[in-house]
Structure 1
Amino acid sequence: MPHGADWLHEIKHDGYRLIVQRDGKIVRLFTRNGHDWSKRFPAISEAALRNRCQRFVIDGEAVLLGVYGRSDFNGLHSRKHDDEVQLYAFDIIALDGDDLRKLPLHLRKTNLARILARRIDGIHVAPFERGEIGPDLYRHACLMGLEGLVSKHRDRGYRAGRCTHWIKNKNPEHPAFNRVKDQF
């Protein structure tokens, strides 16, 4: 479990990873395997269209919130609640035609918070904590029955795929711990 001033820690939600692209009046939601789910999650697509910013690419987790505000993967997977699915946005890749991937994470998060400052139901900034709190936050996430944490180095650029500066810390008691999933 990474800790220290250079690390940011986010709750690991049990959902589907999505890339949200908006270019004017066109919104696309892409899975990690490249499937277009733009029509599957209307609340996310509509929220992207209601955003004041006309061009952006956001990385996040599509989540169905269940009891006590915890993600409900079985409900999400059932497709019975697609209209209730929300995006927890944790990164921004492009903004107004500028590629932001080389910027440090903390600057990308500042840009993300700026464009999502006017809260619109359907897309939310994923909350995070900084620094030494990582191990304690992980312990409490496990006690609450959450999937775990993702710890990210604050000064690193964006990179798809596995890397040493994005570390998943999964709760071994959570059902997702044993679920086979492809890694982004």
Structure 2
Amino acid sequence: MKEKRNFDLPVDPPVLPMLSKRVDQLPVGSEWIYEPKWDGFRALVFRDGKELLLQSRDTKPLNRYFPELVQALLEQLPERCVLDGEIVISRNGALDFDALQLRIHPAASRVKLLSQQTPASVVFFDLLAQGNRDWRETAFRERRAKLQSLLSKVKPPIHLTPATDDPELARDWFQRFEGAGFDGVIAKAKDSTYQSDKRTMFKVKHERDCDCVVAGFRWYRKGDRPAVGSLLLGLYDDSGVLQHVGVCGSFPLKKRYELVEYLKPYQKDALANHPWKGQLDEETEDGGGHRRPGGQSRWSQGKDLSWEPLRLELVAEVAYEHMQSGRFRHMAQFRRWRFDKKPEECTYEQLEVVPPEELKAIFPENQ
């Protein structure tokens, strides 16, 4: 049974959050405020007396998954407010998105255990309402100042995101905090209003390139004839085992059709000696610690993850943003074929390693 909540706020749920648009370089000028881009679950928090709602980016309730945050928010937030922020988990000096994903579990007992073992934090960066006032049409510089005043005395697990109007410091954040799991830097115009579901902020994210073995592909499900949806990528580990590291996609429709013919010769006898014969859960490993594509998990939500194997002869250069737990954090982007490179040269050694920066550089105390 869905829990009923009654709110009488200037801004009542559900509300879609304001979004960001990706750019290659940070905008520079006196009219901008910069913030680190957190890698977690976006959350709008509605508090009206004893009523509190943690709302996800797609307006789903998150309360049951983060009971430790509900209690802390009720204790520390103003009686009536609506705030925008990010739920994160910090472990060993870095943000741990894998641990955060594990919190979305159907079993209440499991959620309770994980809330004790890997407690979450929430980092706020915008104000939508406070008391009887709707702040969405107020300039961001004023919303930020008010938010800073409201959260001046909060303690972990509640935090106010750092912000600066110094582009040099923002560039420093972009470099220093990547190793701690930050996605990049956000730029917000000082005079901007809060525009729900509109991409009015700007973000600069990390991107690198990597040469990967193309070990298979998935079909495109929306075309009127056979088309390739995504390419399955692999890298060899120190033991010489090909690990599944993610996919690349977002091809134009014409390219999807062309790839069908291009990949056809590499399908012949591909499964005979293919290292990924077993179709196991993408988010788990087999007994030998080997990652495989395919299989269903609670993250796939019934999606068809079946795939077609290819002989291990093709190498593709792809662009990626962030590597986490041996996999690309987001879908990679195809750049070009590398006919000058042998598949066995596609190893983890080519990846740039960024040393983690202690989160205490942002959080006032370690959690």
| 1:67-88 alpha-carbon deviations (Å, 9 max, x no partner) | 22x2110111012644511110
Matched position secondary structure for 2:145? helix
The residue aligned with 1:115 is 150
The residue aligned with 1:171 is 206
Could you tell me which runs of 5 or more consecutive residues in structure 1 were left unpaired when the two chains were aligned: none
The residue aligned with 1:153 is 189
Q: Distance in 2 between matches of 1:142 and 1:48?
A: 28
Could you tell me which runs of 5 or more consecutive residues in structure 2 were left unpaired when the two chains were aligned: 1-25, 104-110, 208-320, 332-367
1:99 aligns with 2:134: yes
How has the CA–CA distance of structure 1 residues 143 and 63 changed in structure 2, closer, same or farther, with 3 Å as cutoff? closer
Q: Distance in 1 between matches of 2:41 and 2:87?
A: 5
How has the CA–CA distance of structure 1 residues 8 and 62 changed in structure 2, closer, same or farther, with 3 Å as cutoff? same
Q: Distance in 1 between matches of 2:182 and 2:156?
A: 22
- My pick for the range that moved more, 83-92 or 43-52, is 43-52
The residue aligned with 1:76 is 100
Q: Distance in 1 between matches of 2:76 and 2:45?
A: 12
The structure with the larger Rg is 2
| 1:12-55 alpha-carbon deviations (Å, 9 max, x no partner) | 11100000000001110000111111121123211221126210
Give me the TM-score of the superposition, normalised by structure 1. Answer: 0.86
Greater RCO, 1 or 2 (C-alpha within 8 Å, sep 6+): 1
1:19 aligns with 2:55: no
* Residue in structure 2 matching 1:138, options 166, 169, 174: 174
Q: Distance in 2 between matches of 1:141 and 1:3?
A: 20
Shift in Å at residue 5 of structure 1? 1.7
Matched position secondary structure for 1:112? helix
Alignment RMSD: 2.1
Q: Distance in 2 between matches of 1:7 and 1:175?
A: 29
| 1:71-113 alpha-carbon deviations (Å, 9 max, x no partner) | 1101110126445111100001000021100111111111111
Matched position secondary structure for 1:39? helix
| 1:125-172 alpha-carbon deviations (Å, 9 max, x no partner) | 1111213323343233446653211111111111122424x1111112
How has the CA–CA distance of structure 1 residues 104 and 30 changed in structure 2, closer, same or farther, with 3 Å as cutoff? same
Q: Distance in 2 between matches of 1:141 and 1:127?
A: 12
1:9 aligns with 2:5: no
Matched position secondary structure for 2:164? strand
On the 8 A contact 1:6/1:131 being kept in 2, the answer is: no
Matched position secondary structure for 2:70? helix
On the 8 A contact 2:88/2:97 being kept in 1, the answer is: yes
On the 8 A contact 1:5/1:132 being kept in 2, the answer is: no
On the 8 A contact 1:76/1:82 being kept in 2, the answer is: no
1:124 aligns with 2:149: no
The residue aligned with 1:66 is 91
On the 8 A contact 2:44/2:56 being kept in 1, the answer is: yes
Q: Distance in 2 between matches of 1:2 and 1:67?
A: 33
How has the CA–CA distance of structure 1 residues 85 and 178 changed in structure 2, closer, same or farther, with 3 Å as cutoff? closer
Q: Distance in 2 between matches of 1:78 and 1:63?
A: 12
